[in-house]
Structures are given as C-alpha cells and as structure tokens.
Amino acid sequence: MEDRFDRNVRFFGQEGQARLRESTVAVVGIGGIGTHVVQQLAFLGVGGLVLIDHEDVSESNRNRYVGLQHDDPVPGMRKVDLGERIAVSVDPSMHIHKTPNSVMSHEGIDALMKSRYVFGCVDCEGVRLFLTEACARYALPYVDAATDILPEEALRYGGRVCVAWDGHGCQVCLGVLDNAAAHMALGGESVRRERAAIYGVEHGMLDMVGPSVVSLNGVIASVAVTEFMVGVTGLRKPRRLLTYRGHLGGLTVSNDEPAPDCYYCTGLWGGRGGQELRRFWEHKHGNPEP
Amino acid sequence: MVRMVIEAERFDTLLQHLFPEDFAGERAAFLFAKTVSDGGTVQFEAVEHLFVDESGVRYSSLGYLELTDETRGRVIKRAHDLETSLVELHSHRLPFPAEFSPTDIDGLREFVPHVWWRLKGRPYLAVVAAPESFDGLAWIPDTERAERLDALVIGDRVIQTTGRSIRGWYQAYGRSI
C-alpha cells in the first residue's frame, strides 16, 4: 500500500484501504456539496470516480465550491471538469469518467451503472427519487446529502445525510423526500402548469436561488463521506439518517425504523423484477432527455 | 481455480472486435469452449468463436450493451451443436478496472439459468474486458454457485483477472445462482 495512505491504514486497516481502492463511486451533482465529496473521496483513496453533472459553473458558485480558482473561466467551465481537476490534483492515479449530462439521460444512466456506490449531491427532489429507485433496483448503496437554509423569521439552517445502504431504509420510507415535489419535477411542464393552476405558483417554479455557504456544505459532505467510509471499510454500519441543525449547533442521529412495507427497500431492492433500468425508466417516465 | 485458454491469434482478433477504433460503444463476442477439469482447476478452452455484429445487438452505447433474443438463441444452438460450453465476452469502454456492472450482473442472473437449462448444465463463463484488464465469473454445475475467473491463458502468456466481480455478485445475490 502506498505511504500516502499510511494514516488511513492506521485507522481502518489494509483491508479497509483496499476496499476503498477497489471502489468506483458515482457523484451526481458536482456543486457545493459534490466538490467537497469528490475531494474527500480522492483523499480517502477511492479508486474510481464517475462524475455526473450537466451544468456549468456560474459566478455565484465562487463562494463555496472547493477547488474553484479565482481565475477559472466563468461561464465556460463544466462542473464535471472541475470535479476531475479536484480529484486528479489529489490523486492522479484515479480512474475518472465524466458525464456532462443529466443523470436522467441515457448517458447518465449508463455512467451510473458503472459504479458500486452513489452519492447524490443534488437540489432536485425528482432526481433524488430517480436515484432512490435506480440504486434500490441494483442494490447500490446510495448516500444522499443536502443542506437547507430557511430564511424565515426564526432563521433555521443545517442539512441532512440519508444513507440507503442495504435495503433497510431510504429517503422515501424515512420521510425525508418531498414526494409531491419529486413527482412534480418528474412530471414535466404540463404537470407543473396543472398544479400551478390549482394551487398557485409553486416556490420551485419561480427559479429562486436560495442562500448557500461553504461551511454548511462542508459539514454535510464530511458526514456523508464518513458514513460511506465506515460502511465500505467495515468499521460499522452506516446510519440511515443524520441531521445537522446548524442553528442549534448539533448533529442528531435518527433511530426511526424504516417503513416495513417500503416499495423501494423491499419491492425493488436487488433488482427483483429483473427489468433493466433503461426500459423501466422509459416505460414509467418516457424516453429520458438526451 | 478457473481459467480461460485461447490461442494468441484468436485473442488478438477478439480484442480488435471488442475495442474497435471507429466505434466507442460496447461490443460482444462468444467463444465455444471445451471444458477440462483437472484436480481443482477448470479450464475453458476455446475451439470456435462468434463475434456479434450490429445486427445482433438491440442497443449499444459507451456504457451499455443489450443483445437481441435471436443472438442469444443462435449462440446457444451453436454450443449445443458443437457440444461445447458457452463463453460470453463483452467490452467496457470506460476507464475503470474490469468488473461486471450491476446491469451486467442482473442480466447474468436471468441468462445463466436459461443457458444451463438449454445446454443441460454445461459450465458457463462470462468475461468482461476493460481497456487494461479482464474479469470473469464462471458457473460450474458441481458447485452450483458463481466462481471467479482467475486467469486468461493466451498461448504461453497468463493474464490475471481483477477478481472484482465476485464481490458484486455476492453483494447483490448471495451465494446462489
């Protein structure tokens, strides 16, 4: 084992380091949380990275994306290229595949299916639901990380990490995912218009950009990568749900049991049903965007 | 121990088919192989090959491959006629060490029992070829569970496999087929 991992090995052993080295990890969303995650995975010694993000870096990202340099061209820089640079700057020997497409595209699905673990670092409930389904179907451990700042009268801020590791708990049955928002996001323009006509204009349709800061992203990314690390190396089983309440200064671990009849954990987990993801997705939601 | 034995010339042709310069997607091929058991070693020795062309593919991309039902039926029939085992091979074009993907494993879980039934329980071998390495899983009737492919023997050259896929298989499906 390389000397650069000596301090890792002293923590979780040669076998743990070898397991990390053999891991190929997909990071979906190379943004405020995703850039932290990529950097930490590289330091841990993960062997392969699949980077999936269809967006370019924007000017307002400069306050929190680790690895983004002051003179990087914005606009004009793809987030997957930033992710690659972050990883390679730490470990040039990493195997990296970049997919500058939505994860809900043929290219995104193909890339996702080449990984053994998945990090979801996105801000769309629809994508979260998609990843929940995809990972459950193919028994891929899925770590979802999200921050939240609610600029209301009583300011609340923090985030949470939800880990669907072995079919015993996911964002849906732990009540983390906003199903209505997810289905609206996946339903397309007609569904959004219909819903707006009934309920008024949704917050998400206003294309509002919320507050976001580097430290909250860093806390949540670190918690997410730690749960991944302990799971892969065998230090302990990852926790299903961890919530950071920054306004209170505390991290809580949920002891809630997942729903025993969860469709994703019990019905889909491990590919039962035997369908291939692409056909399943096309049948259920139509042909993915190119 | 499980090994695949193939002549150097056939192997070179196979690699050219699996990694064509003018096509970025995944490709597939089949070998028809005699199986030889010696002590604890099982060898799949290639005697004939079939390279799957575009007409035998339902869908192929940089990260995914699906064959037509006609192709599957055709190779099973040929193996039956030759009284050989079937070896399936496909390429991965992404820059990772060789390892079956979750979709590969899902496909094997459906296809291997079918082949066993059609070919009366003959050993079956599946191989994935990555740009710089190989891996494989074998199903030997006596053991009735997936075994890792240990090495490819090409003429007098031996290539060790990555051995990564066996963990993914057991992670998804336990020790049964």
Domain harbouring B23, CATH code: 3.40.140.10
What's the pLDDT at B127? 98
The rounded distance, in Å, linking the Cα atoms of A21 and A43 is 11
**Exposed/middle/buried for A72, CB within 10 Å: 0-12, 13-18, 19+?**
middle
Beta-strand pair B57-60/A142-150: unpaired
Backbone angle region of B40, left / alpha / beta, with phi > 0 → left and psi within -120 to 50 → alpha: alpha
Please say whether the beta carbons of A143 and A203 come within 8 A.
no
Q: What angle do CA A56, A57, A58 make, to 5 degrees?
A: 115
Q: Which residue has the higher pLDDT, A170 or B59?
A: A170
Of B153, B150, B176, nearest to B165 by C-alpha is B150
Beta-strand pair A142-150/A156-164: antiparallel
Q: Which residue has the higher pLDDT, A58 or B103?
A: A58
Q: What angle do CA A159, A161, A162 make, to 5 degrees?
A: 135
Grade residue B176 by pLDDT with cuts at 50, 70 and 90.
low
- What range does the domain containing B26 cover? 2-173
Any B CB within 8 A of A21 CB: no
A13-182+211-275 maps to CATH 3.40.1160.10: no
Report how many domains make up chain B.
Answer: 1
For the complex shown, is ipTM > 0.90?
no
The rounded distance, in Å, linking the Cα atoms of A200 and A197 is 6
What's the pLDDT at A186? 79
What b/e sequence results for A132-156 when a residue is b if at least 16 CB atoms lie within 10 Å of its CB, and e otherwise?
Answer: bbbbbbbbbbbbbbbbbbeeeeeee
Whether residue B95 and residue A97 make contact (CB cut-off 8 A), yes or no, is: yes
End-to-end CA distance of chain A: 41
**CA A115 vs CA A33, A50, A110, A132, B111: distances in Å:** 19, 7, 10, 15, 22
Helices (H), chain B: 8-18, 69-82, 102-118, 165-173
pTM for the structure as a whole: 0.87
Q: Which residue has the higher pLDDT, A208 or B25?
A: B25
In this prediction, residues B34-61 reach a mean pLDDT of 93
Any B CB within 8 A of A271 CB: yes
What's the pLDDT at A150? 85
Best of A98, A110, A282 to mutate (most B CBs within 10 Å, chain B): A110
Backbone angle region of A13, left / alpha / beta, with phi > 0 → left and psi within -120 to 50 → alpha: left
What's the pLDDT at A197? 64
- Which amino acid is located at A69 in the chain? Q
Residues of B in contact with A109 (CB under 8 A): 64
**Chain A residues 217-236 with CB within 8 Å of chain B:** none
Please state the domain extents for chain A: 13-182+211-275
Residues of chain B above pLDDT 70, percent: 94
pLDDT, chain B, mean: 91
Please say whether the beta carbons of A163 and A241 come within 8 A.
yes
What's the pLDDT at A2? 74
Length of chain A: 290
The rounded distance, in Å, linking the Cα atoms of A177 and A173 is 8
Any B CB within 8 A of A88 CB: no
The rounded distance, in Å, linking the Cα atoms of B73 and A163 is 41
What b/e sequence results for B151-163 when a residue is b if at least 16 CB atoms lie within 10 Å of its CB, and e otherwise?
Answer: bbbbeeeeeebbb
Tokens for B35? 């199986």
Residues of chain B above pLDDT 90, percent: 71
Q: For chain A, 290 residues long, give each residue's pLDDT as a single digit of tens.
A: 679 999 999 999 999 999 999 999 999 999 999 999 999 999 999 999 999 999 999 999 999 999 999 999 999 999 999 999 999 999 999 999 999 999 999 899 989 989 999 999 999 999 999 999 999 988 899 999 999 998 777 889 999 999 999 888 999 999 999 888 887 777 777 666 666 666 555 555 455 678 999 999 999 999 999 999 999 999 999 999 999 999 999 999 998 888 888 988 887 777 644 445 555 555 455 554 43
Whether residue B64 and residue A270 make contact (CB cut-off 8 A), yes or no, is: no
